[in-house]
Structure formats: structure tokens, C-alpha cells
């Protein structure tokens, strides 16, 4: 069985505590995972701090060149990385290769290009005073990851931090550590000095908590649940650590009666069931105008029933297993609760008999009550709530009736209505007449309880940079204040 060790200062190290992680699609043992202790985290932070003296002074052009190399080496190793990713998560191999690893490569290339575009400013305050601003890396950053897109989300955090000149301690989810360790080894193989990227798998309570509280850390970038996000805000207060938080979502997708139905069905299949619905921007509340409700429902169900849920390592698999037995239990409980609260089961697929892992079938539930659990809580599984609406005002109010504000979508041929509704939705990332696909060039992040700060785009790079002002006196002598000559 393979080992997922810690990667500290360019070396693989076994932790004292380990556990056996299974493949969620087969329930067979997959790897022995090292769980970092507080001491391991402290060692990783010290290595990163030592490396910071070198990496922060490495010319941006050299950092960028190394990052282009990293993108190329990932491209060469795409098949093995995709397989690791699929075995750890249970997601279809095609989604791992084409979407997740494809996104990882694009992200490294995008930030490789941005490494040389970081620049400050200068301003003549008056004829004797010049002010310049310097853009500096924030320091050592702690990055805490969830399990749903282990490699993509690692790239969204590691690439901008490297471009900015920061050093990194990553804590992947204890369920999906191995891909991130392989990624760190690739980064070292491309010339990035030891200690710049360290990876410490471990539990949230031990390793995550120790990272958040470590006083060598200047910034924490966290992706995960809103519940843990709030805990991190509290725990980072002692050191006033800079934070960015990418948290949960409850995305609405609003379909008006003039929508292009075939595109809309395609997008909602991806929106609801891609990555088994374990996706923070998944369409979880699908609002359909009453005039097209029946037609939409018929077409949507017909297409959902064709989703091929099978062994995720098969090239024809379109949907795999959930991440763990615990998560499967949670999804089942949410569905039962929704039905007990008046939700109506419109469609549920059947799990093939040969599948042994934590599979849950695509599920569609009709609901009208905003009190239904599917309106309020993140299920994080292949479960879509479908809701009929009558007019724009009513649907915008329903869409915003949530503590979350991550993403959403609008479907209409009326450009004014599209912009009006998209602007009225209280969320950070909106799509019009398409859904899904977050590209590195665009700033991504939530509002309300979906998060703080941005990832991706130039805004994502800014999160790893601090601004210093230097004012320079350019006159021959300072004016006297105390009357001294
Ligand atoms: P989680 O919050 O349970 O865990 C996320 C990470 O935090 C894990 O690495 C975990 O070990 C760590 N952690 C747990 N307790 C901690 C603590 N006390 N201190 C420090 N770290 C701690 O989330 P999850 O179950 O891994 O992932 C699913 C969640 O992630 C969903 O809510 C989903 O919406 C969210 N998510 C958000 C985005 C986004 O971009 N907004 C993307 C993916 C996932």
C-alpha cells in the first residue's frame, strides 16, 4: 500500500500518527496517510520561513519561468496525477484529467505570466517629496484545503503564492492528501528551492488548528465549510493573521420562460451533477418559470436518467462515488429530511449492483417551501431542488433568501433582464446563459457567509501581496519646524 507522508523542506517524512484511507469507490484500502502533529507543522513553518529569505528575493522572471516548467511537467504527468485524484475522491477519471488537471495547468500558466506584472506605483506629492509604493510578498502562508477538488484548489492557492514570492505550508484534507504531495514534488523538480512548498496532511483539529495559530504564518487561505471558516476567524485573531476564506454555497439558477432550453438542460446537468454534486458552486436551487416548468421538467429528467454512474476509473463514467461513508450518510439524511418536510421526489437514479463504494444516485426534488432543508443547507451531493416561480421580483427574493452568496445563474434572452437579475443576486460569481467553469483569469469568491477575499484573477494575486509606502525627500534641506537653523 502506498504511503502519503509529510513533505517538509524537500523531504518525505513519516508522521508518528497515521491512518488507512480507503478508495471511496471500492472501499478497498488505498494509502497509509501520515497525520501531521503540532510539532510537524511548526517544523514546516520554520522551513518555509528560512526559504522565504531566498524565494522572496528570487527575481519574478525566474519565478515565472519555474512556474511555466511546473505547468509543463504536470502536463507530462497528467495521467498518473488524474488516477491518484480519482482514486482519492471517487470522481470520474475524465473529470480528473480534462477538468481538474486541465485547470491546474492553466492556473500555473496564468500566474507564471503574472509573476512579472507585480508592480507598485510612484507619485509626486510636491516638488520635494516623492512617494513610491512597493509590492512585497506577505511572507509564509498557510493554505488549508477541502477534499472535493484537491488538486485544482491546491493550484488556485499555490500558484499565486509562488508568483508573489511567498513560501507555503499546505494542509490538504486528510481524505485526499496524496495528489498535493505529488504536486509539491513536481514543484521541487522544477527548481523551486526546498522549503518553499511544504505539505502537511493531518486532521483539522490538530494540524489545521496548529497552522492557523502558528506565529510564523502571515496569512491563511482557507477553503472549506462556513462552520470551520468561522472557527478560523476566531483562532487567527491572536496573531491578527491576514485571512481569505472560500466557504460554502447554495447557488440559485434562475430559468425564465424565454431561455434556450437545450443549452439550459445541458448546463443544469453539469451544474447539478458534475463531481457528484460535491461542488460549492453546484446548482442546488433550480428556479423554473411556471410557463415552461412542465416542459423543462420532462426534458431534464429524461437527461438525468442517462447519466452513466459507474466505476470512476472507467473512461465512460460520468458520475462516481461520494467521498466517504460519513458523507454518504449526511446526504441521505438531508434527502430524508427534505421529503419529511414536504419535498416531492421527482426522480432518483438507481445504483448499479456491481458498485461497492459510497455511491449516491442523481436525485431531483420538487419543493415550494423556503423552510425546506434543501433551500437552506448545503447538501454537497447530487441532489437538486427544483422550484416553480411566477415573476422576477419573487424569484430574486427567493434566490437571496439564504446565508450563502457564492454563485448563481440566470437564463433569459432578454439582455436587460439578464443584467438586472444577475446584479440583484447577492453572490460573488454569476453566469448568464451558461453555468459552471471557473477560469483562472476571473476573480472568484463569495459574499455573505460564503467567504472573504478572492481567488484567481489579479485579485487572487493581490491576496499574497502587501503594500509598503516609502516617501523620499528630494529637496536640499528640510523646512525647519523648531526654528533650528
Ligand atoms: P471542512 O470545512 O470540513 O474542512 C476543510 C479543511 O479544513 C480540511 O482540510 C479540514 O481538515 C480543515 N479543518 C477542519 N477543522 C479545522 C480547524 N479547526 N482548524 C483548521 N482547519 C480545519 O470542509 P470539507 O468537508 O473538507 O469540504 C467541503 C466544504 O468546502 C463545503 O462546505 C464546500 O462548500 C466548501 N468548498 C468551498 C469552495 C469555495 O471555493 N468556496 C470550494 C470547495 C469546497
Evaluate: CB of 350 within 6 angstroms of ligand 1: no
Evaluate: CB of 248 within 6 angstroms of ligand 1: yes
Predicted confidence (pLDDT) per residue in 401-428, tens digit? 999 999 999 999 999 999 999 999 999 9
Quote the CA–CA distance of 188 and 10 in Å, as a whole number: 7
The answer to whether 349 and 309 have CB atoms below 8 angstroms apart is yes
Residue with the smallest CA separation from ligand 1 atom 39 is: 246
Q: Measured from the CA of 235, which atom of ligand 1 is nearest?
A: 19
Q: Could you write out the three-class secondary structure of the chain?
A: CEEECEEECCEEECCCEEEEEECCCCCCEEEEEEECCHHHHHHHHHHHHHHHHHHCCCCHHHHHHHHHHHHHHHHHCHHHHHHHHHHHHCCCHHHHHHHHHHHHHHHHHHHHHHHHHCCCEEEEEECCEEEEEEEEECCEEEEECCCCCHHHHHHHHHHHHHHHCCEEEEECCCCCCHHHHHHHHHHHHCCCCCCCEEECCCCHHHHHHHHHHCCCEEEEEEECCHHHHHHHHHHCHHHCCEEEEECCCCEEEEECCCCCHHHHHHHHHHHHHHHHHCCCCCEEEEEEECCCHHHHHHHHHHHHCCCCECCCCCCCCCECCCCCHHHHHHHHHHHHHHHHCCCEEEEECCCCCCCCCCCCCCEEEECCCCCCHHHHCCCCCCEEEEEEECCHHHHHHHHCCCCCCCEEEEECCCHHHHHHHHHHCCCCEEEECCCCCCCCCCCECCCHHHEECCECHHHHHHCCEEEEEEEEECCCCCCCCCCCC
Q: Check 100, 246, 377, 378 and give the catalytic one.
A: 246
Evaluate: CB of 442 within 6 angstroms of ligand 1: no
Q: Check 280, 313, 366, 463 and give the catalytic one.
A: 280
**pLDDT at 313 > cutoff 90:** yes
**pLDDT at 67 > cutoff 90:** yes
The answer to whether 202 and 195 have CB atoms below 8 angstroms apart is no
Predicted confidence (pLDDT) per residue in 224-258, tens digit? 999 999 999 999 999 999 999 999 999 999 999 99
pLDDT score, position 370:
85
| Residue 167 annotated among the catalytic residues of the structure | no
CB atoms within 10 A of CB 172: 30
Instruction: Mean pLDDT check: name the lowest of 44-48, 99-103, 273-277, 477-481.
Output: 477-481
**pLDDT at 473 > cutoff 80:** yes
Predicted confidence (pLDDT) per residue in 349-407, tens digit? 999 999 999 999 999 999 988 899 999 899 999 999 999 999 999 999 999 999 999 99
CB atoms within 10 A of CB 388: 18
**Position 479 confidence tier, pLDDT thresholds 50, 70, 90:** confident
pLDDT score, position 97:
98
**Position 280 confidence tier, pLDDT thresholds 50, 70, 90:** very high
- 206 Cα: distance to centroid of ligand 1 (angstroms): 14
Predicted confidence (pLDDT) per residue in 317-326, tens digit? 999 999 999 9
Predicted confidence (pLDDT) per residue in 142-177, tens digit? 999 999 999 999 999 999 999 999 999 999 999 999
Task: Provide the mean pLDDT of the chain.
Answer: 97
Nearest-CA neighbor of 450 among 433, 425, 432, 431? Answer: 425
**Position 10 confidence tier, pLDDT thresholds 50, 70, 90:** very high
Evaluate: CB of 148 within 6 angstroms of ligand 1: yes
- Give the CA radius of gyration of the chain: 24
Burial 70-105 (b: 16+ CB within 10 A, else e): bbebbeebbeebbebbbbbbbbbbbbbbebbbbbbb
- Find cell 510539532 and name the residue: 39
- 224 Cα: distance to centroid of ligand 1 (angstroms): 2
**pLDDT at 485 > cutoff 80:** no
pLDDT score, position 383:
98
pLDDT score, position 369:
83
- 482 Cα: distance to centroid of ligand 1 (angstroms): 58
Dihedral angle at the C-alpha atoms of 287, 92, 12, 167, nearest 10 degrees? -40
- Side-by-side strand order, sheet with 129-137: 121-126, 129-137, 465-473
The CA-atom distances, in angstroms, between 264 and each of 70, 168, 269, 296, 380 are 37, 40, 9, 9, 21
pLDDT score, position 484:
77
Predicted confidence (pLDDT) per residue in 201-217, tens digit? 999 999 999 999 999 99
Amino acid at each position: 500500500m502506498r504511503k502519503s507522508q509529510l513533505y517538509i523542506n524537500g523531504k518525505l517524512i513519516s508522521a508518528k500518527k497515521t491512518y488507512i484511507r480507503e478508495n471511496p469507490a471500492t472501499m478497498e484500502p488505498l494509502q497509509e496517510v501520515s497525520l501531521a502533529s503540532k510539532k510537524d507543522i511548526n517544523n514546516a513553518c520554520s522551513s518555509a520561513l528560512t526559504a522565504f529569505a531566498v524565494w522572496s528575493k528570487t527575481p519574478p522572471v525566474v519565478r515565472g519561468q519555474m512556474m511555466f516548467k511546473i505547468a509543463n511537467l504536470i502536463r507530462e504527468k497528467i495521467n498518473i496525477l488524474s488516477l491518484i485524484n480519482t482514486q482519492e475522491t471517487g470522481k470520474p477519471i475524465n473529470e480528473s484529467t480534462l477538468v481538474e488537471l486541465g485547470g491546474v495547468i492553466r492556473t500555473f500558466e496564468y500566474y507564471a505570466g503574472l509573476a512579472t506584472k507585480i508592480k507598485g506605483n510612484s507619485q509626486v506629492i510636491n516638488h520635494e517629496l516623492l512617494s513610491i509604493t512597493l509590492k512585497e510578498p506577505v511572507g509564509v502562508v498557510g493554505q488549508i484545503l477541502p477534499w472535493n477538488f484537491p488538486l485544482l484548489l491546491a493550484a488556485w492557492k499555490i500558484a499565486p503564492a509562488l508568483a508573489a514570492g511567498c513560501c507555503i505550508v499546505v494542509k490538504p484534507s486528510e481524505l485526499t492528501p496524496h495528489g498535493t504531495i505529488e504536486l509539491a514534488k513536481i514543484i521541487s523538480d522544477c527548481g523551486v528551492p526546498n522549503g518553499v512548498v511544504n505539505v502537511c496532511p493531518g486532521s483539522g483539529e490538530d494540524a489545521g488548528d496548529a497552522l492557523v495559530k502558528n506565529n510564523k504564518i502571515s496569512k491563511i487561505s482557507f477553503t472549506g465549510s462556513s462552520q470551520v471558516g468561522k472557527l478560523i476567524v476566531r483562532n487567527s485573531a491572536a496573531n491578527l493573521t491576514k485571512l481569505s476564506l472560500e466557504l460554502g454555497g447554495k447557488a440559485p439558477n434562475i430559468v425564465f420562460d424565454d431561455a434556450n432550453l437545450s443549452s439550459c438542460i445541458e448546463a443544469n446537468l453539469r451544474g447539478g451533477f458534475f463531481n457528484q454534486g460535491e461542488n460549492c458552486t453546484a446548482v442546488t436551487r433550480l428556479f423554473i418559470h411556471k410557463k415552461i416548468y412542465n416542459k423543462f421538467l420532462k426534458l431534464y429528467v429524461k437527461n438525468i436518467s442517462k447519466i452513466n454512474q459507474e466505476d470512476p476509473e472507467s473512461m465512460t463514467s460520468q458520475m462516481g462515488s461520494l467521498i466517504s461513508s460519513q458523507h454518504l450518510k449526511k446526504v441521505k439524511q438531508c434527502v430524508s429530511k427534505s421529503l419529511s418536510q414536504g419535498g416531492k421526489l421527482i426522480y432518483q437514479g438507481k445504483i448499479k449492483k456491481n458498485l461497492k463504494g459510497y455511491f449516491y444516485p442523481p436525485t431531483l426534488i420538487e419543493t415550494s417551501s423556503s423552510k425546506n432543508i434543501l433551500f437552506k443547507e448545503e447538501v454537497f451531493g447530487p441532489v437538486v431542488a427544483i422550484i416553480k416561480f411566477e415573476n422576477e421580483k419573487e424569484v430574486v427574493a427567493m434566490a437571496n433568501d439564504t446565508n450563502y452568496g457564492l454563485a448563481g445563474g440566470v437564463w433569459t434572452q432578454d439582455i436587460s433582464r439578464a443584467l438586472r437579475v444577475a446584479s440583484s443576486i447577492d453572490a460573488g460569481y454569476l453566469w448568464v446563459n451558461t453555468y459552471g467553469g471557473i477560469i483562472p483569469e476571473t476573480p472568484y469568491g463569495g459574499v455573505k457567509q460564503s467567504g472573504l477575499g478572492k481567488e484567481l484573477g489579479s485579485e487572487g494575486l493581490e491576496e499574497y501581496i502587501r503594500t509598503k509606502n516609502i516617501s523620499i525627500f528630494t529637496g536640499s534641506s528640510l523646512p525647519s519646524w523648531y526654528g533650528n537653523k
